[in-house]
Structures are given as structure tokens and as C-alpha cells.
Amino acid sequence: MIASAGISDILAKATASERLSPEEGLRLLESHDLAALGQAASTVTERLHPEPYRTYNIDRNINYSNVCTAVCDFCAFYRPPNHEEGYVLDRDVILEKVAETVQLGGEQILLQGGLHPKLPLSWYEELLQAIKQKFPQVNIHGFSPPEIYHFTKISKLSVREVLTRLRDAGLGSLPGGGGEILVDRVRREITRGKVLTDDWLNVHRVWHELDGASTATMMFGHVETLADRIEHLERLRQVQDETDGFTAFIGWTFQPENTDMAHIPPSGAFEYLKTTAVARLYLDNFPNMQSSWVTQGLKIGQMALLYGANDMGSLMIEENVVAEAGTVHFLTLDQIRNAISELGFVPRQRNVFYQLVDETSQLGSSPLSVS
């Protein structure tokens, strides 16, 4: 494939394992040569992941509460304090959801909620302890950076103290939620009362310094510019250079339905695949990239495996936040596995640390050793 004029030199540089500058990353995002971008991203993915398999995860997104003091124009899930539709799940309900996840073969839960103004840090510690006591084998991938930063305010403790206490109570890894676009101008335009860029990044940095692993995200296709997307990727790449604590990057498009930003036209598959490919080329120190079939659907989610992703993401037994915005893509385990095998790869189940957890692949032709 011959790239269009102006980006062939950049793609050659990326596929030769040379780091791209922000200016070069922006030139790629400004390009419409999706085929060339995809081919280059696929080349990088194959170099990083020459193994014959592509991965997926089984987990459940448990939203312990939808009460939130922040006001996010893009969010259809949250309810302000004292709203009649606000809730906090009983601990027994949460434990029941974890039990169902384990019964379906899951080894992880994603535990996230809003910025609740009244729940003390001890409430979260006791919840973590209860889950780990009953399900010691389950990894708790919990509390996005906005939540952690919020905990520091309600507890009057430092980020390090909060993270240490949560880790000691059973927190296993940190999700990258609440990242949106890591440019303060954008963050101030679409949200109020929520952590800004430096503090969002610092939560991850401190967690990594405590030997913790986390994921990074980007929600794009709203008020940000293409240059803002590159600045977001650049900030993530800088932290990864410092800590090497991010296991994966997950990008998805803003879902406008039922939000205060419903007037913004939704980004389509072209923009999603292009940005996924550029992220793979730019984030040269990120080992893994996830597909976002939850927002894109089965076929585009599958195509992402040809545009830089090496992982199909999670079966996601339960998902509430994106669903509230009107996106209702749900896949079965067989659909996820078949999407991988249709591309000639062996589907393998992994955990949040990208360690394989299945002894063999049911769809594979031969067993593969667990890493």
C-alpha cells in the first residue's frame, strides 16, 4: 500500500520503531488515508504481538452509585445528590453481582461510581475487604482517577495515602476512566467539579510508583480538536516513559444521545478506526490496545484488530454508563471469540495484567502455554 503524499515518511518512521513527534501525529490524524494508516498500525501490532492469538477479558462493570457532585455534559448516567433516581448499591447486591461474574468465568470486576459527597473512605475500604474476603481470586479493577482524587478531598488525605489504603484493602488495579480529553480547556468546557489533567495523570503516576498497574483511555469526537487528541496521547506517553505502569490504551467515540451534548453529531467508524490506528503508531511505549466494540458494534470492533488493537476488550457482563447514552451494543462470548478467529487468530482469555488465564483455547487448533 502506497500512502498518500505527506504521510508516507511518517508511517515509515513509525513502522521502523522510531518515535513520532506531536506534529507528525497531527499530520496522521489530518490524513484521510485510512488504508495506509491501518496497514502501518497493523505492522506495528504484529511486531509487538507476533503471537498467534488475540485476547479478550470477562468482567463486569459494577456501578456502586450514580450519585455525583461533578456535572459532565457528556454523561447520561450520573444523578446529582438528593435526586430521586440516585442510588447506592447495598453491599450484598454488589457481592451477588461478583458471584454471578465468577459463575460466568470472570476473574475481574470493574468497580466505578460517581463522586458521592457523603460516602467516607472507610466505606470503600470495607467494600473492597468484603469482596476480597469472599472472592480472593477476583481482581478488583476499581475507582477511576476522578474518584480517587475525590476521595482525597473527602478524607483530607494525600493521593498516595488514599491509594495505599485502598490497595491494602484489596484494590488490584486502576481503570483509566474519566480521562475524556487530557487538555484542561476541553475538560473545563464539558465538565464542572472534576479533576483536571495534571491531577488525573498524577493519580496514575502515584499508583504506578506503588507498583500498581492501570489502563488509559480517551473519549473523543466531541468538542476537542485533532491537536487536542495528540496532546492527550502525548501526555499519556510521557507518564508511561516515567513509570511503565499502563497496561493498555482504550479509545472510544463520544455517545451523544440523552446527554446535554446531544447536538453534536456522533463520530462514525472512519474516525474511530483512524484515531485507533494513530494511537497505536503514537503510543510506542504502550504494550496493548483495546477495541471498543461497546460503542462501535461487532464488525467495527472486529476491524479494530486490523487497525492497531490486539485485544477485543471485555465481555462486559454488565455496562450502565454507555448504555444510558443510548448505545446498546452487547456481544456474547461466542461472538467475541468468533470475531477473533474469523481474522485467523486464536481467541484467548486474559486478565487485566494481560496474563493468559485459559488453559487452552476452545476454538484454537492446539493448546498454548499460559504466560
Confidence of residue 328 (pLDDT cuts 50, 70, 90): low
> Residue 183's pLDDT is what?
98
Domain assignment present for 181: yes
Domain assignment present for 50: yes
Is residue 233 a contact partner of residue 218, using CB atoms and an 8 Å limit?
A: yes
Flag whether pLDDT at 365 surpasses 60: no
Domain assignment present for 360: no
- Number of structural domains (the chain) is 1
> Residue 122's pLDDT is what?
98
**SS3 category, 58:** coil
The amino acid present at 218, given as its one-letter code, is M
> Residue 2's pLDDT is what?
44
Handedness of CA 280, 285, 290, 296 (dihedral sign): negative
Domain assignment present for 232: yes
Give the whole-angstrom CA distance, residue 343 versus residue 189: 41
Confidence of residue 261 (pLDDT cuts 50, 70, 90): confident
Counting residues of the chain whose pLDDT is more than 70, the rounded percentage is: 92
> Residue 104's pLDDT is what?
85
> Residue 171's pLDDT is what?
98
Flag whether pLDDT at 368 surpasses 70: no
Give the whole-angstrom CA distance, residue 107 versus residue 334: 18
Give the whole-angstrom CA distance, residue 238 versus residue 115: 27
Q: Give the pLDDT confidence of 128-187 residue by residue, as tens digits.
A: 999 999 999 999 999 999 999 999 999 999 999 999 999 999 999 999 999 999 999 999
**Largest Cα–Cα separation, the chain:** 60
The amino acid present at 273, given as its one-letter code, is L
Q: Of the given ranges (69-83, 248-262, 282-296, 309-323), which has the lowest mean pLDDT?
A: 309-323
Q: Residue 308 maps to which CATH number?
A: 3.20.20.70
Question: In sequence order, what are the residues at sequence separation of 6 or more whose Cβ sits closer than 8 angstroms to the Cβ of residue 114?
Answer: 65, 66, 67, 68, 69, 70, 77, 78, 79
> Residue 295's pLDDT is what?
85
Give the whole-angstrom CA distance, residue 291 versus residue 285: 18
Domain assignment present for 370: no
Domain assignment present for 283: yes
Flag whether pLDDT at 6 surpasses 70: yes
Domain assignment present for 299: yes
Handedness of CA 69, 74, 79, 80 (dihedral sign): positive
Q: Which residues of 340-359 are buried (b: 16+ CB within 10 A; e: fewer)?
A: bbeeebbbbbbbbebebbbe
Domain assignment present for 199: yes
> Which set of grid coordinates corresponds to residue 85?
433516581
> Residue 370's pLDDT is what?
27
Give the whole-angstrom CA distance, residue 16 versus residue 93: 51
Q: Of the given ranges (82-86, 93-97, 206-210), which has the lowest mean pLDDT?
A: 82-86
**Between 192 and 204, where is the model more confident?**
204
Give the whole-angstrom CA distance, residue 143 versus residue 165: 13
Range of the domain at 225: 22-349
Count other C-beta atoms under 10 Å from residue 188's C-beta: 11
Flag whether pLDDT at 325 surpasses 70: no
> Which set of grid coordinates corresponds to residue 147?
474518584
Handedness of CA 102, 103, 106, 112 (dihedral sign): negative
> Residue 364's pLDDT is what?
39
Mean pLDDT highest for which of 40-54, 75-89, 92-106? 40-54
